Amino acid sequence: MRTLSANATIAVADRTMHKKTNLMCIPGLLIAALLVHLLTPHLQVEARYKPSEYEAAKETIAVSLMGQLRMSVGDLMWFKTLEYLHNGIIYRMPTKREESTGVHAVEFTGMGAGVAHKDGPALVPDQETDWRGVLGEMNRNIEPWRPGHAQHSAPQELIPWYQLLVRFNPHYIQAYTNGAFFMSDFAGEPEMGREFLAAGAEKNPWSFEIRSALGRLCFDYFKDYENAVEVLVKAVELGKEEKRYLAKRDDEFDNVQEQLLSEAYLFLARSYVELEQYDEALAVCDAGMKEVPGYNLLRVERRIVKKHMAGEL
């Protein structure tokens, strides 16, 4: 009897101790959270790489493996933005057989070079070509599907995905430029776009693309010409550097990069014009026409600058 009573007392004591231990965890967790909050800014080191360092880092095995994961998540989110753009319908590239029968992917450039892509037929086949019978008919009703060419939704719905994408991969340059473009031009939130690009420029100090987009935003929405000049001068400098770097590797700019460098020259010239620094504007137009000879808006801008200098405007 005494043993039983002693056991019961021990059990009660155990339970009480257990509860106390559990309760003691709460202040411990709170203190840990407070310490993390206080110490993180002092311990955190922001990675800053030059293009050469970034390229070298990509070639190391460990960084490459972790980078693959980061790129994969980033790419998945990139696909998510396309899914949103197509209202959930999945499109695919035409097969060789389809191409031989005249089915081709259609180039979509409606919202700027950043979201340019090709739309082929829908992945879920239409009634005429479907081999699945009733199952196919149910599939067409259950998955988003519509016949004909792709239609595109309001692009501001893509914004959260760009925000998330850069959290997973802060070096996904096109996510910054596209996201900011949609924030300012479609969602009517230029300030948000500026903050987004500024954060991107801080994380990617080698990127001329982000600076070009930021300069355009300062010019177009904030009429902040002095800041635009500062940002765009750097953009042009980095852009030229990047172009030389790619040329050494027998590579060249893609369409988006070409457009962003062209715009960097254009908005830099325009900013100088607004600041009435016509000589600098003319020099930028000349330099730009050499660097991106196919960009006709620079020729137009040059004529405008000339007229300003002649006092005709």
Partner 1 sequence: MGTAVKKTMSVAYVTVLESVRRKDPYVVLILGAAMVLGAGVFSRFGVEGLEKFVKDVGLTVTTVFSIVICVVAAARQLPTEIQNRTLYPALGKPISRTGFFLGKYIGVGIMSSAVVVAFYVLLGIILLVFRIPVGGVFYQALYLRVLSMWFIAAGVLCLSLFLTHGANVTVSLLACLCMQIFAHSILYMHDELTGISLRLAEGLYLVAPHLELFDLSKKVIHGWPAIPLWVVGGMTLYGLVYTGILLTIGCARFRRMPL
Closest distance between partner 1 and the C-beta of residue 138, in Å? 5
Window contacting partner 1 (CB under 8 A); options: 21-29, 127-135, 249-257, 258-266: 127-135
Q: Which is nearer to partner 1, 97 or 244 (CB)?
A: 97
Under rule CB under 8 A, residue 139 binds partner 1: yes
CB 281 within 8 A of CB 309: no
Cβ(54)–Cβ(211) under 8 Å?
no
The whole-angstrom separation of Cα 156 and Cα 183 is 7
Rounded Cα distance between 68 and 62, Å, is 10
190 counts as binding partner 1 under rule CB under 8 A: no
Q: Which of 183, 229, 233, 305 binds partner 1 (CB under 8 A)?
A: 183
Write each residue from 202 to 221 as x if it is in contact with partner 1 (CB under 8 A), else as -, in one continuous string. --------------------
- Using the rule CB under 8 A, is 175 a contact of partner 1? no
- Residue 147 to residue 153: CA distance in whole angstroms: 16
In angstroms, the CA 82 to CA 153 distance is: 10
Contact residue for partner 1 among 2, 96, 248, 249 (CB under 8 A): 96
Nearest one of 84, 75, 98, 106 to 174, comparing CA atoms: 75
DSSP label of 157: G
Q: Does 138 bind partner 1 (CB under 8 A)?
A: yes
Which residues, in sequence order, are bridge partners of residue 107?
A: 118
Contact positions vs partner 1 (CB under 8 A): 84, 87-88, 90, 92, 95-98, 123-125, 131-132, 134-135, 138-139, 141-144, 153-154, 156-157, 159-161, 163-164, 183, 187, 189, 192
